[in-house]
Amino acid sequence: MTPAEKIAAGTHTERVEPSKSNGADDAPPAWMDEAPPIEAYEHGSTPQPTPASVSLFALLWYATLDDSKPPEQIVKGLLLAASLFVVYGESNSGKTFWVLDIALAVAAGTPWRGRRTRGGLVIYVAGEGAASVRARVRAYRLTHTEVQSLPFAIVSQAVDFLSFDAAYQLISTIKAAERECGQKAVLVIVDTFARAVAGGDENSAQDVGAAVAAADRIRTETGAAVGFVHHSGKDPTKGARGSSALRAATDTEILVEGLSGQRSVTVTKQRDLESGQCMPFDLVPVEIGTDPDDGSPVTSCVIRHLEAEAAPPAVMRELRGKAQRQFVAALRARTESEPERIWSLFDLRHVGKELGLIKTTAYSVVDALTSSPYMLATVGGYKFMDGRATQ
């Protein structure tokens, strides 16, 4: 490293001895020609980057935007390629059975609930142990005898999404699996989110943000969609357990409800696809073996899809809290003069700012309203429906 580079890095510690001047023609040391100009320094600290040393962000120009292709989908109308999604519900609601059913259909490239799937490698991170996942896959194999082999593999231990090294270890594992099976990864399931952030705090936006960043790196490096299986909070209608930073970051959020008999799956958030879809199911027991100790049958379950009932007419949803009521009143007033206005998320959050709401409250209100009958998702954003949207 030259002295100039050491200066730029803030590590130059050598003492420069004053040279003996022989007159006005004495030239400065050669390394000084390489040093940044004095203007590049602020308060004597490290130099500011010069244009030649700054990498630029990629730009998408207006004239080229019509040429964009529609996003690829892993499951038609439900999951986008390279997206981030969350499936959440209470313990014993059947969410892992449901996620596995999708995962195995994607690996096979076969339709799921009549929806086209994009076949490819599926990696299932069994953070709570591989034994129960193995049993459920066994039940699937016994009831889908036409499927002999699938590009589906289980990581039989938790992966720490708060660790940079662990995330890259998972990326390397995925790429090695791609080479072994000859197919690109399209789906990575992490079961559960709690095990992925073990040692962290689910309620901390910082820890959740770090886990999301790890998922983003996996998506970028592999092109696969990443899904977290998560637990619901005390009130499932308010979203998954922990910090709302996870919901804000997800493209798709799916709620699984019911502890026995018929269960329901509802798409509670979609960034780019249709939300509000309802997909009921129940669990069918399957005998997968015999207990060697007493000869009793060992069972697991598979999903049986049921037909969704016709959705009832939309009803006015009760507003919760002063902030939501203020927000809706403001939108109602503005809609009188702009009845066809399409609101972007930025526009809606700016309304919250104008109302004097703190940032976190404004974001929370916008998240609640954009997934309610008050707002209808459409091209370019949301249209205010004053509680009449069917979603």
pLDDT at site 137: 95
pLDDT at site 210: 96
324 in Cβ contact with 366 (< 8 Å)? no
DSSP string, 269-320: EESSS----B--EEEEEEEEEE-TTT--EEEEEEEEE-PPPPPPPP-PPPP-
Name 14's bridge partners: none
pLDDT at site 7: 43
> Tens of pLDDT along 234-247?
766 667 899 989 99
Other residues' Cβ atoms within 10 Å of the Cβ of residue 170: 24
pLDDT at site 203: 93
> Tens of pLDDT along 165-208?
999 999 999 999 999 999 999 999 999 999 999 989 999 999 99
Other residues' Cβ atoms within 10 Å of the Cβ of residue 175: 14
298 in Cβ contact with 288 (< 8 Å)? yes
What is the rounded distance in angstroms from the CA atom of residue 367 to the CA atom of residue 384?
14
Which residues of the chain have a pLDDT value below 70? Answer: 1-52, 67-68, 235-238, 309-320, 378-380, 387-391
Residues 6+ apart with CB under 8 A from 220: none
pLDDT at site 380: 67
pLDDT at site 313: 44
- Whether pTM > 0.85 for this model: the answer is no
Residues 6+ apart with CB under 8 A from 74: 80, 81, 83, 106, 117, 118, 186, 187, 225
